[in-house]
Amino acid sequence: MRIFKSFFIFLLLTFTFVTQANADSPATFYFHGSGYGHGVGLSQMGARSMALAGHSSEEILKYYYKDVELEKLDDSKIVRVNIGHLLSTAKFSSSAKESPLQIFQGDLGDQSSTSLNSKADSITFSIVGSTVSPQLKLGKTTQVLSGSKVFTVRWTGTRYLQGAETLISVNHSGATQKYRYGQMQVKAVKSPAGYRLEITNSVRLADEYLWGVSEMPSYWPIAALEAQAIASRTYALSKASNYRSACDCQLYGEITDQTFLGYAKEIEKKYGIIWKETVTRTAGLTITQNSQPITAYFFSSSGGKTESAINAWGSNKTFTQIIDDPGSLDMTLNPRFAAWDREVSQALIAEAFQLQDVVNLEILGNNESGTVAQIQATSSAGVKAVLRGEIFRSRTKIPSAWFTLVRVQN
């Protein structure tokens, strides 16, 4: 009993010390800045500004990327685009009852197959242990197939199946997206949280993929759209040979790589056709160095100058550079991010630095671009931690690394 009592007193004193220490920690940190994104490569707002001033897409691209050429490359490769990451369940459905989905066990790749498992109006995929378990519904009939590591889903109106053009809907994480081209793979992949579903859409890069990329409003000036289409093609080509087992893909269909909306981009009211025509008009055009596609990074807007890859991520890319980007600071073109203010909680700041708390933040220096080079945090226990400005931006979800610390509030 005496041992227990002494231990209890120790815990109480420890808790009191931590509480008092944390009482001096600011509840909120306030930041002021400009720009949105990492700042490396093509500035989308800058491209818009240059296009409005009469510059061509080639002039825009050669301004933002250093020592590059535009060449026509073969972009007919089939790429796997991840459209569902780390899922427990997902549902596919066909837009036409007369054109049901077809499901095959295994990964068919680009091969034809006669090993049809079944047809269905809708298929619900779930993870069961280390396998994918499909539940099919055709009319009023429900069927559960034996689990497998991977299934392939096809539908008519594609290069894999002749017949009427069919849209399929994929629902997961509370959202539904429509797809028109290619085929789907659903695979069980091991993750730190256990096995999860990875869903990929296999599409041709040249058109089926690029038609669905949504990284710039389709009503922007044509030269800006052309610059974006060429940059998106180039980025995809630079990643097309790099298979990633964690997502069963070459490209993530989200901000990790490029936002891929599938058929929704193509059928945008009034403007979807403009983007599709832009992709077609720039067919094959690729940004290169030594006849190889560069990793054509792009971002929304800067704080007045672009950033280099070595400042942002610590790795040198010869085609990135720090140059003036005045269009990003145009309040008419960029009213939300030419200037911004954000407040970030104590909890998020501490998590970013992996400290128990943060009582003080100090910007240790700025890069030539104006971004924060390093920022240091100090905990109530006196522990210090330093982050690169871009890493701090990413972890705290503030818009950019062009920022200053305005004040703190308890």
Laid out side by side, the sheet with 285-289 consists of 69-72, 285-289, 292-293
- CATH of residue 191's domain is 2.60.200
From first to last of its 410 residues, the chain has per-residue pLDDT tens of 433 344 343 333 333 333 334 557 899 999 999 999 999 999 999 999 999 999 999 999 999 999 999 999 999 999 999 999 999 999 999 988 888 999 999 999 888 766 777 999 999 999 999 999 999 999 999 999 999 999 999 999 999 999 999 999 999 999 999 999 999 999 999 999 999 999 999 999 999 999 999 999 999 999 999 999 999 999 999 999 999 999 999 999 999 999 999 999 999 999 999 999 999 999 999 999 999 999 999 999 999 999 999 999 999 999 999 999 999 999 999 999 999 999 999 999 999 999 999 999 999 999 999 999 999 999 999 999 999 999 999 999 999 999 999 988 88
- Does residue 352 sit within a domain? yes
**Is residue 35 domain-shared with residue 129, that is, in the same domain?**
no
Q: Where are the beta strands (DSSP E) in 129-193?
A: 131-138, 141-144, 150-154, 168-172, 175-179, 183-191
b/e for 341-373, b at 16 or more Cβ within 10 A?
Answer: eeebebeebbebbebebbbebeeeebbebbbbb
Host domain of residue 148: 78-207
* Residue 148 within any structural domain of the chain: yes
pLDDT at 96: 84
Q: Which residue, 207, 228, 262, sits at the end of a domain?
A: 207
> pTM for this structure?
0.91
Would residue 328 count as lying in a domain?
yes
pLDDT, residue 128, reads: 97
Give residue 23's pLDDT.
55
Query: What's the pLDDT score for residue 114?
Result: 62
Where among 184, 207, 230 does a domain terminate? 207
In terms of domains, do 98 and 173 share one?
A: yes
DSSP E strands in 220-322: the ranges are: 251-252, 285-289, 292-293, 298-299
* Number of domains composing the chain: 2
> What pLDDT is recorded for position 111?
83
How high is the pLDDT of residue 4? Answer: 37
First vs last C-alpha separation in the chain:
41
Domain boundary among the residues 207, 229, 256 is at 207
